[in-house]
Chains A and B, each alone.
Chain A
Amino acid sequence: MRGKRLFIAVFLIPPLLLYGIFVVSPYAQAFQISGTNWSGLSPTYEFVGLDNFHRLLGDGYFWNALRHNGLLLVLLPVVTILLGLFFASMISVGGRAGRAGVHGVRGAGFYRVVYFFPQVLSVAIIGVLWKEMYAPHTGMINGLLRAAGLDGLAVAWLGDPRFSFWCVLAVLVWMNVGFYVVLFGAAMQSVPRDLYEAALLDGAGRRTTLVRITVPLLWDTIQVAWVYLAIIAIDGFAIVQIITDGGPNSSSDVVGLRLYKTAFADGQFGYASAIGVAMFFLTLTVAVMFLRVTRRDRVEL
């Protein structure tokens, strides 16, 4: 038995040390620092209780950023999941003409590979690429618009407060759809083929099949997808920082970027940690709300 104890200790202690130092202790300290007015320049700081959170409530920049995260939280999952479901059902079971049985459309394999491209690019590459795509003179988008004779539409996409947020949203949708096509596609493979065949025989069209068969059977997967996209929407930091840096005029600011700038540009570490704590509770609230809203009887097969 001594050997077993030693074995457990040797295998568990190094990972626990690494995890404790770099993950657990920062998380614990964050709550503590959020109650101080620490500016990082001086080693001394005072506990100010909930002052940072009071200040947060009256901080217009914070609310502005939070509003953008809220919009992302609603729009990003809805748009991405709808597109993902549509593409996945076309690719997996959308084929109709000619061949017997249920199969994907022609070129399904090609689409499946190509849609996944953004998923394997790092977020920095995607950010820089789209910054160049949106560029007013050298960008691909305005180049296309001018070639089509639509010079009036070739605007400064990222330089206009009316468009900057939507440009960011478009990139976030673009980079995420491919993954959910694969995820939903994999889930559809586990749906018995004869269900689709029966629907086909009964004369159900693509849309009926999608709404009546695919969505109810994939409900669990759709929930998972929603949670992941919500996490991405609450974050949003990298793309926003690279493409617009929150501008112009904070028109595309998000909470993560607020935190980063408050900490590492302004040096207000106490206040920045308070923003972090707020983000944590936001995540928690969204998770709990989500679990309450979507609780629904599973379809048993």
Chain B
Amino acid sequence: MKDRAVPLLSHAFLVVWALLTTLPLVWAVLSSFKSDNEILTDPWSLPSRLRWENWARAWGEAHIGRYFLNSAIVVTGALAVTMLFGAMAAYVLARYRFRGGRIVYFAFVGGMMFPVFLALVPLFFVVRDLGLLGTLPGLTLVYAAYSLPFTVFFLTAFFRTLPSSVAEAAMVDGCGHFRLFFRVMLPMARPGLISVGIFNFLFQWNQYVLPIVLMQGEDAERKWVLAQGLTALAVNEGYRGDFSGLFAGMTIAMLPVLAAYLIFHRQFQSGLAAGQLR
């Protein structure tokens, strides 16, 4: 009997962890449809009907919609800058020999060693002195800059693996350096670009400390990103007792990425795994 009990226990453990990862999310979604009264009387009860008005309240009055849009703008812009600049620098560092090349490479890659907290105070003043404090372009540039070390590191390694015969053939045919990069090498590097792109997307979408430091000051509230808006909502709803609005805001914030993950889970997982096995 003993050798059957152990596997059973192991399986039970698997199921328990699956419940631990799914139930809180299901609970948040269900609570977003409940009334405050239902939430207060029994956390485990089901909503008596689907109250979409909670979602509308979170989207409009609590400005989750605006924060969502801000997040989308910043991450889209930052991702574009990161991928373009990262690919450009990595390509040159990987395929061209020139003086100082190794120093530049290590300057980029060395950035991965430093905790972001070390930079926090001076960064605040650098951004302020450029007049970019509390602005979306400022946050976009900062996100892109802090994504560069890993992007350059990953893509340099990737560009090195590409065969040089294609590049040589193109050069013989009179293809210039710029055309070679945009027409030949970039398309060949697509798998690497996708992996590092997913990694950067999650890195930038998940940022917390950078926005709360850089998006403060008066009027900055209109420019908040989702991470800030949601935590502020959590603090404020506590006072006002609008729990259902908070859950609705949370659900709106997590559903899009969760949905994207469920569709592309293989790419998500391999992209992230590749990212961390550096």
| Residues in A lying within 8 Å of B, measured CB to CB | 3-5, 7-8, 11-12, 14-16, 18-19, 21-27, 29-30, 33, 83, 86-87, 90-91, 94, 96, 105, 107, 110-125, 127-133, 137-140, 142-144, 147, 174, 177-179, 182-183, 186, 205-206, 221, 224, 228, 231, 234-235, 237-238, 242, 255-256, 259-260, 263-264, 269, 272-273, 275-277, 279-280, 283-284, 287
Contact = CB atoms under 8 A, between A and B. Distances in A.
A186 B98 CA distance: 38
Interface of B: 3, 6-7, 10-11, 13-14, 17-18, 20-25, 27-28, 31, 39-40, 42-44, 81, 85-86, 88-89, 91-93, 96, 98, 104, 107-108, 111, 113-115, 117-127, 130, 141-142, 144-146, 148-149, 152, 176-178, 181, 202, 205-206, 208-209, 213, 216, 226-228, 230-231, 233-234, 243, 246-247, 250, 253-254, 257-258, 260-262, 265, 268-270, 272-273, 276-277
Nearest to B19: A114
Contacts of B273: 182-183, 186
B144 A33 contact: no
Contacts of A125: 230, 250, 253-254
11 contacts: A16-B89, A90-B11, A94-B10, A128-B234, A132-B243, A206-B10, A237-B208, A264-B124, A272-B120, A275-B117, A276-B119
Among B81, B119, B144, which residue has the most Cβ atoms of chain A within 10 A?
A: B119
A114 B22 contact: yes
Contacts of A182: 269, 272-273
A248 to B, nearest CB: 15
Given A18-B141, A123-B208, A125-B254, A143 B42 contact: yes
Contacts of A120: 202, 257-258, 260-261, 268
A90 B40 contact: no
Contacts of B21: 114-115, 117-118, 174, 178
A121 B22 contact: no
Contacts of A238: 208-209
A124 B226 contact: yes
B115 A128 contact: no
Nearest to B213: A264
Given A122-B206, A186-B273, A283-B115, A113 B121 contact: no
Contacts of A30: 118-119, 121-122
Contacts of B20: 174
Contacts of A272: 120-121
Contacts of A19: 107-108, 111, 145, 148-149
A115 B257 CA distance: 15
Given A123-B206, A272-B121, A24 B272 contact: no
Contacts of B122: 25-27, 29-30, 33, 273
B64 to A, nearest CB: 12
A86 B88 contact: no
A242 B234 contact: yes
Contacts of A228: 276
A243 to B, nearest CB: 10
A213 B104 CA distance: 41
B119 A26 contact: yes
Among B118, B178, B202, which residue has the most Cβ atoms of chain A within 10 A?
A: B118
A122 B208 contact: yes
Contacts of A235: 115, 117
A264 B3 CA distance: 58
Given A22-B142, A183-B276, A228-B276, A133 B24 contact: yes
A269 B142 CA distance: 20
Contacts of B24: 129-130, 133, 140
A194 to B, nearest CB: 23
Given A33-B122, A132-B246, A182-B272, A111 B89 contact: no
A259 to B, nearest CB: 5
Contacts of B118: 27, 30, 273, 276-277, 279-280
Contacts of B272: 119, 179, 182
Given A105-B14, A113-B265, A124-B208, A12 B234 contact: no
A150 B148 CA distance: 51
Contact of A111 (B18, B42, B141): B18
